[in-house]
Amino acid sequence: MSKIILVSNRLSVSAQRTNEGFSYNPSVGGLATGLSSFFSRSDSLWVGWSGLADDTLTPEEREEVAGTLRTEHKSVAVSLSSLDLDTFYYGFCNKAIWPLFHYFPTYVDYDPTLWAAYERVNKKFFEELRQVIEPGDFVWVHDYQLMLLPGMIREEFPNTRIGFFLHIPFPSYELFRLLPWRNDILNGLLGSDLIGFHTYDYARHFLSSVRRLLGMDNNLGTIQGPNRMTKVDVFPMGIDYEKYAASSSLPEVQKEIERIRQSARGRRIIFSVDRLDYSKGIPNRIQAFHRFLERYPDYHGKVELIMIVAPSRTEVESYKELKRELDELVSTINGTYGTIDWTPILYFYRTFPFEQLTAIYRVAEVLLVTPVRDGMNLIAKEYVAARSDYQGTVVLSETAGAAREMSESLIVNPSDMDGIAEAIRTALELSPEEQEQNNRRIHRRLSRYDVQFWAHDFMDKLELAGENRASLQNRRLRGENRKDLIAQYQAAGKRLLFLNYDGTLVGFGSDQTKGKPDAELLSTIERLAADRRNEVVIVSSRSREELASWLGHLDVGLVAGYGVWIKLRDGDWELVEQLNNDWMDNIRPILERYADRTPGSRIEESEYSLSWSYRKAEPELGAVRVSELRDALLSLTGNLNLAVIEGHNILEVKNSDINKGRAAMRWLHSDDWDYVLAIGDDWTDEELFSVLPPDSWSIKVGVDLSRAHWFLKNEKQVRELLHELV
């Protein structure tokens, strides 16, 4: 029976040394907290670090901790040494990925020894996974610490369904490109069947980086490349809604609520709770509260800000500096405005248990959530869910992922301290009716898309993505199928071979003027054509002049211009049918305008077609321009019997009656063939595949949806197959 293997840096429980031995307590953090309920209700296994450095344990203790975690907590511990923690977690993860992905590039440390530690620890996780992965399992990898892991798993377990979810923002291409190991990370992630992000913006940034750095485009979020197919989608993480909604009925919480209300003595509570981190925008938040007190003295003595800052990464110097800054800001405000019986900010530098936290949620009228950057921020959701009375207001940063789902909150720019100050005042003055109206809407969304729904939604999409990949993988030309193709070829008396040129026999480059066949390819084609049982036809979008100069000396048939021109083996060039090119004078100015607006693009013209090529253009700009141009051309050519064809970084306009399939019919109808083989890489080759006899061998180059029955990864594999045939 298949199981779900969750993989994260920390397990859902952490082992701690005590005087009596070891204790095992729930891990702190949004990921462990959020997934624990899903984990407990499913057939799962969790793989991660135990919380204890390997070199602080004896061999017997390591065995004890690992055994307890496996038998009592369904967990597999990954052994990490103190050096691993220093260089991997406190090193590359916190000194490189975290600041860069949160838009703090000046904090990034590009030390290659830290990158080496990142690779080393990802391999340690993989070594543990190797011992537990079984056929049919799902592997769900979590967060930025393990971005190389999906690629490692895919290499050894090609049929395993692998998902990855990033819980922090993915930065824009302009920032991500700064990372020297950017391609390694992208390729690691693309080992997944499904990659999930909290928001569309993060997914868009990732797809942009893949396109611009790896040259791999996507179709509706599906990235298709050599031997891989990865779906990218958005899954805004939910919370355990029922847990927080029911919290106010717990006796411990009720007691805490009463204690807080007595302590507040009628003052209205504003609440802020965060882990110590420069991405959380805490200094700006404190200064915004300062401005609120400056502007609205009527609130002096009537409000208090309860501010909880959970210690984090206390060994890192930038975090120490941040802690000192917070201490000074709080001291300044309390010293300036505080009185004998009123302290404006109640500041706690420690974590609070669930009962105390939810009690504060219940009595606080305003929650301040103003990160500079944040993946989702579940605190905003927890606060609203805990308010079963539908009261309270969230002042929420527009850069938090939760802002997309909680638009009824007061959305602010986290750098606009005046704006945050005004939002605090607005929140305090909202009527109970307005608060209830806003919060009921948010409650409905949170209750429907809770953490269980989120996890099951991801797993359902992962299963579908895995099935799609598997269906394509099963059509790879290998093993017995490859032997059958070769055996049928050898036994056939009359064979017809259609071979596409660019992307099939030769690779694509940024300059289409290149691509001249090399000596090895010419020799292969010549040997195929020399066999009198073979009729070889080279099919191309290129002009007849190019094909004639490169391949005209070979004893083969040629198809040029997507099927406009054909040349039989012993014949001259001829049009498939008489064509009109008067339309070109009307279309050319449009292409020229886009060529002028898009540096690196150019117009290519043949007798009966016009093309706009953007192979050398900046990829993002090219993608935008080709979409605009395609729409413009489709509207203009609707009544002109013209086809607008999109190929590899090229958009071509030609007569709609002409295509590769129609050209191929000239050969298909010329004899009674025993064996037909067609190989192509472009969507224009689909028209060729569609006219082939049912028992033909059709091969698509690259992993993609296709009418072809089989797939090969790239032109190198095509050449290897042709070598076997000759």
- Residues designated catalytic: 167, 374
CB 685 within 8 A of CB 500: yes
Query: What residue type is assigned to position 397 of the chain?
Result: S
- Exposed / middle / buried, residue 674 (Cβ in 10 Å: 0-12, 13-18, 19+): middle
Q: Which residue has the tokens 């413009």?
A: 632
Q: Which residue has the tokens 């009595």?
A: 363
What DSSP designation does 162 have? Answer: E
Strand arrangement of the beta sheet that strand 393-397 belongs to? 345-348, 303-310, 268-275, 366-369, 393-397, 410-412
Find all residues with CB under 8 Å of 635, minimum gap 6, and list them.
Answer: none
3-class SS of residue 652: strand
Strand arrangement of the beta sheet that strand 44-49 belongs to? 75-78, 44-49, 4-10, 138-142, 161-165, 194-197, 228-234, 222-225, 218-219
Q: Any idea what the Cα angle at residue 196 is, between residues 194 and 202, rounded to 5°?
A: 130
Percent helix, strand and coil across the chain, each to the nearest 5: 45, 20, 30
Q: For residues 496 and 688, what is the distance between their CA atoms, to the nearest angstrom?
A: 13
Query: What residue type is assigned to position 525 of the chain?
Result: I
Tokens of 285: 């938040």
- The dihedral over CA atoms of 234, 240, 241, 242, expressed in degrees to the nearest 10, equals 150
Tokens of 365: 């009228």
What DSSP designation does 339 have? Answer: B
Supply φ then ψ for residue 579, to 5 degrees: -120, 155
Q: Which residue has the tokens 């409650």?
A: 443
What DSSP designation does 374 have? Answer: B
Strand arrangement of the beta sheet that strand 557-560 belongs to? 573-575, 565-567, 557-560, 534-539, 495-500, 675-680, 697-701, 710-712
Of the candidates 469, 406, 4, the residue with the CA atom closest to the CA atom of residue 198: 406
CA 420 remoteness from chain centre? 32
Q: What is the DSSP string of 27-39?
A: PPSHHHHHHHHHH
Tokens of 478: 């290998």
CB 497 within 8 A of CB 721: no
Q: Which residue has the tokens 């083996």?
A: 569
- Residue 407: which H helix or E strand, with range? none
